[in-house]
Amino acid sequence: MAKDNGRNPGKKLVASNRKARHDYLVEDTYEAGMVLMGTEVKALRMGRASLVDGWAGFDRDEELWLEGVHIPEYVNGTWTNHTPRRRRKLLLHRRELDKIAQATRETGYSVVPLSLYFLDGRAKVEIAVVRGKKAYDKRQALRERQDRREADRAIAARRRGED
């Protein structure tokens, strides 16, 4: 079942791409609607999707398409079932599309999905314009997170009276 994130009562998280924040530097994020089939919506409501291999790209008509996202077939679907990894059109305002297109024309930038969720009953995807991290950037981020965690533990232990 879809999870409620607690911050926004009308938002139910279906899938998130945690690896994207590890592999890329997020420059800018956007919320986009998607053109979906009925069985895709039903499969998403069951909380089933994977964004791991997902990416977004423009076609020659300057429309943004989400590709590589896996939404498994709906269990109770019949011959009307969808293809799990089909292309899905993203719905954004023209100025947002132009801004994303301008950013992706630069070398090293691409668009990846960060999360897939329902907002007030409508399926939305959070996409981001990202730049790839180098291996040393990833190690640095892991080291900072580990140091922060150790510091928090030490502070908590000190408050409890342990030394």
Residues in Cβ contact with 36 at an 8 Å cutoff, skipping those fewer than 6 apart = 44, 88, 123
Dist. CA 135–CA 133, nearest whole Å:
7
Tokens encoding 53? 């291999």
Of 77-81, 89-93, 148-152, the one with minimum mean pLDDT is 77-81
pTM as predicted: 0.74
At 141, is the pLDDT very low, low, confident or very high (cuts 50, 70, 90)? confident
Q: Tell me if 38 sits within 8 A of 133, measured CB to CB.
A: no
If one compares 16 and 4, the residue with the highest pLDDT of the two is 16
Q: Tell me if 23 sits within 8 A of 132, measured CB to CB.
A: yes
Can you identify the CATH homologous superfamily of domain 3-132?
Small protein B (2.40.280.10)
Task: Tell me what pLDDT residue 77 has.
Answer: 67
Tokens encoding 154? 């030490």
Q: Tell me what the pLDDT averaged over the chain comes to.
A: 84
Q: Indicate if the pLDDT at residue 42 is higher than 60.
A: yes
Domain boundaries, the chain: 3-132, 134-163
If one compares 153 and 135, the residue with the highest pLDDT of the two is 153
Q: Indicate if the pLDDT at residue 52 is higher than 80.
A: yes
SS3 65: strand
Q: Indicate if the pLDDT at residue 15 is higher than 50.
A: yes
